[in-house]
Structure 1
Amino acid sequence: MALTRAQMDAKIDEHFGFEANDNVDGVLATLSPDVVHDIVGWPTGPTRGPDAARPFYVSLFADLQDGKVRTLKRLYGENFLVDESEWSGTAPGRPFGLEGKGRPLKFRLLHIVEFAPTGDIRRENVWLDLAAIQRQLPQV
């Protein structure tokens, strides 16, 4: 059974809300047990299952703070959506291997999210604008 746009929006907005509050357990609760979690370029490559996704979120929440996600555009298909967003906040840690030094940061993200029939996230692919991050966090 296909999910409605409203159902998909509700789940991805819930997911982003947990991320904004650095709530690892909340984020993981939005994922299906068989989730494929793929942050393109992340050293581990795609992971399978919520427990395997946990280290990414622990690292992310240590490296970035006060994050806000602003949705720019969404495209929908049967049980999937493509979300173009902008993240803004601060970088106190080492996001994506770069010294943040508490500097402000803003970059675009592209999520491709597939949903299980239950409404949970079954696959999450994320691309981020690393060039924009590198420009804002120059290493001297």
Structure 2
Amino acid sequence: MALTREQMDRKIDEHFAFAQADDVEGVLATMHADAEHDIVGWPTGPTRGRDGARPFYETLFADLADGRIECLRRLYGEDFLVDESLWRGKAVGRPFGLEGRDRPLEFRLLHVVEFADNGDIRRENVWLDMAAIFQQLPQ
């Protein structure tokens, strides 16, 4: 049975809330045990399962701080959504290999998220506005 928009919104909003709290375990709990996790351009390429996604979130949460995610728009399908959001916060470490130097940072994110029948995230595909990141964190 297909999920409703409200059910999909609830799950992705929960996922984002855990991300804003730098809660690795919480983020991973929103994902299916065998989820595909694909951050486009990330050196490892797509990973499989919660343990495969863990290193990305541990690295991300060490490099970025005070993050807030603002949803700009969502599009829905039978078992998926596309979310365009704006991330705002601070670059405290070396996000994406760039020296953060505690500078403010803002960039758009595009998530393509597919859901399992139980409502867990089965596939997360994320596109980052790297041009904006490079512009704000010149080396």
Task: Report TM bin, short chain.
Answer: over 0.9
Q: Secondary structure at the match of 1:119?
A: coil
Structure 2: unaligned runs, 5 residues or longer = none
Percent of pairs identical after alignment?
73
Q: Which residue of 1 aligns with 2:118?
A: 118
1:90 Cα deviation after fit:
0.1
The two structures have a TM-score, normalised by structure 2, of 1.00
Distance of 2:86 and 2:33 partners within structure 1: 28
Segments of 4+ moved more than 2 angstroms: none
Q: Which residue of 1 aligns with 2:88?
A: 88
1:15 corresponds to 2:37: no
Q: Secondary structure at the match of 1:18?
A: helix
How many pairs are equivalent? 139
Task: Letter of the 2:60 partner, please give it.
Answer: L
Task: Letter of the 2:4 partner, please give it.
Answer: T
Task: Letter of the 1:64 partner, please give it.
Answer: L
Distance of 1:47 and 1:55 partners within structure 2: 10
Task: Letter of the 1:9 partner, please give it.
Answer: D
Distance of 1:6 and 1:79 partners within structure 2: 12
Task: Letter of the 1:73 partner, please give it.
Answer: R
Q: Deviations over 1:93-139 (max 9, x none)?
A: 00001000000000000000000000000000000000000000000
Distance of 2:124 and 2:101 partners within structure 1: 29
Q: CA RMSD in A?
A: 0.3
1:34 Cα deviation after fit:
1.1
Q: Secondary structure at the match of 1:45?
A: coil
